[in-house]
Structure 1
């Protein structure tokens, strides 16, 4: 582990414009610098670097952070790897702290699994090219399917020798422990019985983003109905199939360059598309598409085209995947192949130019694809058409961006011959249904956690940004930006001495005194970390969060503090101001705190009202009186807050 002192030296040395300038041509624009974003294709520069704040932000694709985040994103490195990259650039010696025994064991175990998997890949690849069985059976299979040697070597395919334990014996002779061979799934052990998992199969290594082998897929070449055609490595400490995409290592740079990703189903589909020159392609490896896999694609591009087989099963699979992709805020298209074709066979049949031309002519927007597909089955059946409309609108309703959603509603209205008003009503119904389902899941999960036996204390999980109210966002922005700024003088009631109250002290005291700290995990993390460090002399909340090791926290803080951050409309409702924020903190901060409190009181009232309705339904008079009394107190607090806010309602 890199010690904190070294991390601070690296961060201090890594001047943001210098780091970004190695990859992006930057031009001076006021106090900031501007250039073309390296993470998505753009003609008008929207990529901004702030040397004063030490951050970058693209207002086109949304990526942002500090110099470490930039190197992580651009070079596809982990946090420690990015720190070492920057340390090398600035000739800083990296000193690493001694790890705990538990950390060392976990790291050693994972590394051992990686090393064993790497050995297995080299063994299988060598066996394919150099051994008679590998050349005859394995290489013969790939030759029969017209794969070129350069493609086979690019994906490091191989062949596992047939027999009981030839691979296991070879690995043990090289000093690899049976325990790690078993944990990777390369060897199956039952008491004293051993067996090579992939015996007699052609092997497709699965790489992580850094290019290291973490698992395998194996295809049997014998005609045996009792044996699975494809066999994958089991889950392990280094391999979780729901978080992995086959070909992501070979595709990531081209995905970034073209700002697009093609999604197929199998290993040979990916290889065949590479062979015809389409390299921005990945596969779900025969499993159902998962949110983690979609988020992995989104790291490189928001645009995805799903290519599935032209049979009924392939089309059904594409429909299942569409809603998941939309829910993650991505732009999705579908490329339907002719009936009976898959990407592998069709790419070989059409060749490079033919397949490219087919893609350009047949790539379809998901709404048109889904609507035309489902319309075929409705014909003149009004009930079936109503189901179709609900099905299509259910897909539209999961799109998180309201503008994109409205564009699709217009398109649906045109294709289906239904008024936009009717479709908007259906979207609202679907979103309400989704919200209710989410609340039920949360309630069940909360009950499960409460009834579950206590677990040993573990390292605090990484907090991911989740949606916050505008008042919560404004509260956090002021807390991070003006935490140590002077707010006003006040007299101590006991000593009568005058002391200066800071913005941070006032904001934190106000929320804790009224027990109104938001339950949002992101809000709580930032709020309590500021409180714990408030009186430390060198504490800089800006630097603390912008340069946080958790890249999600760092990006959130960057977005919050970016120059183009739009102030909440709550200020405009109370009358616009022209003064700089820092000049009128004594006016803005109390107003902000009261706005925040007002929204929290409204949330509490909504919750209490639901309890009142339930108590009334259950004829629980005692609880009903208690709840009505609570509601009365909340109404009183609400009136007081409205008075402070100028007797105006806040939407």
Structure 2
């Protein structure tokens, strides 16, 4: 599907009608409001702007156009979302949904994207010699003990193993090491990270990674994303940790919406990956000098990208893996839940912060059109804030005088 065809398809769609198939929308001023389907919304926080063809949730932060909405809610990629928004016999059709109320569209906008083309594009990667070699090396790995019974099932699920001493030439640097298979967000095995078995053996590098290439680029990979992506969508947030073992500990404790940076600095590729699934990030790096320094760099970077970020502290010298092993699964899970509770702002505080920021911006905007757009956003936020007060059986006293 060409860029022009995508633009034509987008122009032909009513984002209100598409989103209206998943949640009930009611007009509020120039916009449409409804319960957000991406989190446990109790009061309408999803705002749909039909004129601009966009949506935004003022509670969880999800936003985008009609393709982004279908991609997120159907849990598919962009091409599949475009396919679902195809035209069938002159009517708007969303696969798997009742289309009897869809509006008629001009026949000239009939656009079809064949699935075979999408599959064919992936054949060179899936059937490449390197992919075959990766799978062969994975099959050679020996069972690896986690040293903790509560962690072992998760290690098995992620395919962690120990490399034997006799391996093909390509993998000789990884022999006799603890090996973590690395998959991309689609689940393809793109490489490995091999850790030395003992930290006492400091004359050897701690980690050895697969060679950087077409498939394996650490700056574009988040360890555990394939296993975590459904949980991230469900929870509306993601834990960002430092290492491979930290991801395994978090998943074992029930926090399956956790990914790691694969031992590298936060890059634009990582941010792009995160934004596909959520705009809420909980940074929980190691509680040491290096971890704190990395956190100090990551938090403002993510905030600058428009994401909501909180720091989750750990006891001095600990990381998620060491704390899990020290406390045990239940106590560790309780610790993380309490740490999140202490830093997580209430919905009312989030909305109040947005209103205050909007009022501050308003004083510096002179153009009439921009002021009107900003006032509409402030009106939506204020309506949500009053709704939260009413739900809590408190007087809806919040108005402009309190900002």
- What is the TM-score of this pair, normalised by structure 1? 0.44
Structure-2 change in CA distance of 1:220 and 1:405 (3 Å): farther
Q: Which residue of 1 aligns with 2:186?
A: 210
Q: CA deviation at 1:294?
A: 3.5
Residue of 233, 236, 254 corresponding to 1:256: 233
Contact 2:194 2:207 in 1 (8 A): yes
**Is the contact between residue 138 and residue 181 of structure 2 (CA under 8 Å) also seen in structure 1?**
no
1:359 is paired with a residue of what secondary structure? helix
Q: In the TM superposition, what is the alpha-carbon distance from 1:269 to its structure 2 partner?
A: 0.7
| Aligned CA distance change for structure 1 residues 310 and 80 (closer, same or farther; 3 Å) | closer
- Which residue does 1:83 correspond to in 2? 82
- State the SS of the aligned residue for 2:212: coil
Match of 1:162 among 154, 160, 165: 165
SS in 2 for 1:216: strand
Q: Quote the residue 1:287 is aligned against.
A: 264
Match of 1:58 in 2: 56
Q: Which structure has the greater CA radius of gyration?
A: 1
Contact 1:156–1:204 at 8 Å: present in 2 too? Answer: yes
Partner of 1:234: 211
> Which residue of structure 1 lines up, in the alignment, with residue 175 of structure 2?
199
How many Å apart are 1:63 and its aligned residue? 0.8
- Deviation of residue 332 (structure 1)? 2.8
* Structure 2: distance between partners of 1:473 and 1:120: 58
**Bigger RCO of structures 1 and 2 (CA < 8 A, at least 6 apart):** 2
Cα distance in structure 2, aligned partners of 1:95 and 1:259? 30
SS at match of 2:298: helix
TM-aligned CA deviation for residue 274 of structure 1: 1.0
Partner residue of 1:127 out of 127, 140, 144: 140
Cα deviation for residue 6 of structure 1 reads 8.1
Change (3 A) 1:356 1:124: same
Q: Unaligned 5+ residue runs, structure 1?
A: 129-133, 169-186, 188-194, 367-400, 408-468, 478-559, 567-651
Residue 148 and residue 309 in structure 1: after superposition, are their counterparts in 2 closer, same or farther (change >3 A)? Answer: closer
Select the structure that is richer in helix: 1
Matching of residues 586-597 of structure 1 within 5 Å: none
Q: 1:359 aligns with which of 336, 346, 352?
A: 336
1:325 is aligned to: 302
Q: Partners in 1 of 2:316 and 2:19 — Cα distance? A: 48
TM-score, length of structure 2 as denominator length: 0.67
Q: Where in structure 2 are the equivalents of 1:360-399 lying within 5 Å?
A: 360-362=337-339
Classify the secondary structure of the residue corresponding to 2:232: helix
The 8 Å contact of residues 239 and 283 in structure 2, kept in 1 or not, is answered as: yes
Q: CA offset at residue 319 of structure 1?
A: 2.6
Shift of 1:225: 4.0
Tell me if structure 2 keeps the 8 A contact 1:26–1:33: no
CA RMSD of aligned residues (A): 4.6
- The match for 2:154 is 151
Give the Cα separation in 2 of the matches to 1:4 and 1:271.
Answer: 40
Distance 2:260 2:115 in 1: 39
Secondary structure at the aligned position of 2:174 is classed as coil
Q: Which residue of 1 aligns with 2:347?
A: none
1:624 is aligned to: none
Contact 1:48 1:58 in 2 (8 A): yes
8 Å contact from structure 2 (residues 83, 113) kept in 1: no
